[in-house]
Amino acid sequence: MNGRFISSFQKVGTFRIVNGEKQGGNVASYFCLSDGSVLHAIAGPVNAATLLREARWVIENRKMAVSASKGDIEKYRAFFRKAHLERLRQEYRGRAKPGPLPDDTDIAAATTETLAKMPLGKGRPLQAQVHTLLAAYPLVKLEQVYPVVFEKILGEKVSTLPVLEN
């Protein structure tokens, strides 16, 4: 992981520490380009094997996207749109069909508000919702997408409050 990625974190929710144990809160992991464009995300905590599998998926798809797009950002974006749609079809076999996808012109103008209005299928698996979101808005900027993942998919509230200790 350290050879391919730079790890960082940002606290966007709050939780309590009671008797040394964390209560509440959640986590989302993002794989981004250096400009903050999101290639992939994982909603919720996962084990090390799952995190590594998802990292490998990003690495392999990024290599193929670079080769296939030959520097054309729209082809690169289209590659990741297709990759997320394929994951939906393979892993959720028709249970996770996305609704109509916006045109590429809508992606450039994506805001947190437009992303939040997108139907992701409440009750569907968390990762199916993530793939639906990133198929509709491939390479969306992290600052637009993290509130949607945290609040709409994970059901948490973005907060700047400090950690509470009892």
Q: How many domains does the chain have?
A: 1
Phi, psi angle pair for 18, to nearest 5° = -120, 120
One digit per residue, the tens of pLDDT, for the chain of length 166 reads 667 676 665 655 555 666 766 555 688 899 999 899 999 999 988 999 999 999 999 999 999 999 999 999 999 999 999 999 999 889 987 555 555 666 666 677 788 888 888 888 888 899 999 999 999 999 999 999 999 999 999 988 877 665 555 5
Q: Which domain holds residue 110?
A: 16-165
Residue 11 within any structural domain of the chain: no
Residue 93 within any structural domain of the chain: yes
Greatest pairwise CA separation for the chain in angstroms: 55
Question: Are the C-beta atoms of 84 and 131 separated by less than 8 Å?
Answer: yes
Residue 40 within any structural domain of the chain: yes
